[in-house]
A and B are shown apart, each in its own frame.
Chain A
Amino acid sequence: MQRVRRGDARAFGELVDALMKPAYFHALALLGRHEDAADTAQQAFIRAWDARGTLDPVRPFYPWFYTILKRLCLNAIRDRDRGRETVLSMLPGWIEPAVGEDASTDVLRAEQSRMLQDALARLSADDREIIALKDLSGYAYREIAELLQIPPGTVMSRLYTARKRLKTEMEKAGYEYP
């Protein structure tokens, strides 16, 4: 971190290599579109490099970077809304079923993934973010708390609210509980 702060491009390049995948997936969860996610994540690294002077070397890099990434994603969503493009007009297929064991459940899982994707697209970016971090990416509460810089209790409260809204959207779409 010290090297990055001093302007060592090689050290920053190593950070980019290590973090490009989580950055891409976090942007994808918020933006729901491959091209936008890749573009915004790259843009966030460029901004982070420009702002390296404000980086605190004793604190972890990623939560600091994540605030830049999230701000850029929210700006992109706002610009998209201004262009009268809604989240529902996002290209299909940003969520897929996890690897299945047999063909009969694969069809069901594919249908559920499609319903889930549509329901998530109707949620706010904050709700989508917390569900994606916990359920789609599998982070622990402690990790989410560190990333979003909020207490673990708030993570649970936000998760409860987001899941309730997701439940409502899934029910509207005709989801039936097993």
Chain B
Amino acid sequence: MNTHDTERIRRLMMASIDGENTPDGEAELQQHLLRDRSLAEEYQQLKNLKTMTSQSRLKEPPPELWDTWSRSSFTKVERGIGWILLTTGALVLILYGAWVALSDLLTDPDIAWWIRAAVVAVTAGAVILLVSLVRERIYLHKHERYKDIIR
């Protein structure tokens, strides 16, 4: 029996078990089952399994889920928009505040040069660390070999 025949018999078995076989397909399958004892045993086991799985169903959720579905969907959208606005606004304010504070600090003639140099070093270090972290995350996300494997 070649691969094509094996595949065809498997499909016929499924169609028969699920009650979707044609009369010709069913007759063909019965001939194979009569000829091959192990195939007949496998067919019977898969049929029993189907009977068992068909006696179960996905559990109904609490009925209130359907009543609150639209409302909670709306709340999700609302909160999503809220978070985006809050994060964007906070980021702009923080960057602006940092820029103003740095400008004041660096242009103030009363502050010693070495303090200003230290502030520049801290700022530059923080920016380099942030850029490095973001770059690493992006690289890892693009090159992670097992990200699509479902365990």
Which positions in A face B, CB cutoff 8 Å? 13, 16-17, 20-21, 24-25, 28-29, 34, 37-38, 42-43, 45-46, 74, 77-78, 81, 86, 93-98, 109, 112-113, 116-117, 124-126, 131-132, 134-138, 140-141, 153, 156-157, 159-160, 163-164, 166-167, 170, 175, 177-178
* A/B interface sample: 6 pairs, CB < 8 A: A29-B58, A37-B61, A112-B56, A113-B55, A135-B53, A166-B49
Are A21 and B66 CB-contacts (below 8 A) given A42-B72, A125-B150?
A: yes
Q: How far is the CA of A175 from the CA of B45 in the complex (A)?
A: 11
Query: Would A163 and B70 count as touching, CB distance under 8 A?
Result: no
Query: Would A16 and B69 count as touching, CB distance under 8 A?
Result: yes
Q: Which 6 A-B pairs have the closest CB atoms?
A: A135-B53, A156-B11, A156-B14, A160-B10, A96-B59, A113-B56
Shortest distance between the CB of A91 and any CB in chain B (Å):
11
Query: Would A95 and B57 count as touching, CB distance under 8 A?
Result: yes
Query: Would B55 and A78 count as touching, CB distance under 8 A?
Result: no
In the complex, which residues of chain B have a beta carbon less than 8 angstroms from the beta carbon of A175? 52
Query: Would A94 and B15 count as touching, CB distance under 8 A?
Result: no
Q: How far is the CA of A84 from the CA of B57 in the complex (A)?
A: 28
Of all chain A residues, which has the CB nearest B50? A135
Shortest distance between the CB of A124 and any CB in chain B (Å):
6
Interface of B is mostly: helix
Interface of A is mostly: helix
Pick from B18, B54, B148: contact of A141, CB under 8 Å: B18
Are A38 and B59 CB-contacts (below 8 A) given A78-B147, A153-B11?
A: no
Are A141 and B20 CB-contacts (below 8 A) given A29-B58, A109-B55, A157-B10?
A: yes
Shortest distance between the CB of A76 and any CB in chain B (Å):
11
Q: How far is the CA of A141 from the CA of B55 in the complex (A)?
A: 19
Q: How far is the CA of A131 from the CA of B49 in the complex (A)?
A: 11
Contact with A along B112-146 (1 / 0, CB 8 A): 00000000000000000000000000000000000
Contact with A along B35-73 (1 / 0, CB 8 A): 000000000111011101111111111000110011011
Q: How far is the CA of A128 from the CA of B29 in the complex (A)?
A: 26
B110 is an interface residue with CB less than 8 A from chain A: no
Known: A98-B55, A157-B11. 5 other contacts (CB 8 A): A96-B56, A137-B58, A153-B11, A167-B49, A177-B44
Shortest distance between the CB of A86 and any CB in chain B (Å):
7
Shortest distance between the CB of A14 and any CB in chain B (Å):
11
Q: Tell which of B20, B48, B73 has the most Cβ of chain A within 10 Å.
A: B73
B7 is an interface residue with CB less than 8 A from chain A: yes
Query: Would B52 and A163 count as touching, CB distance under 8 A?
Result: no
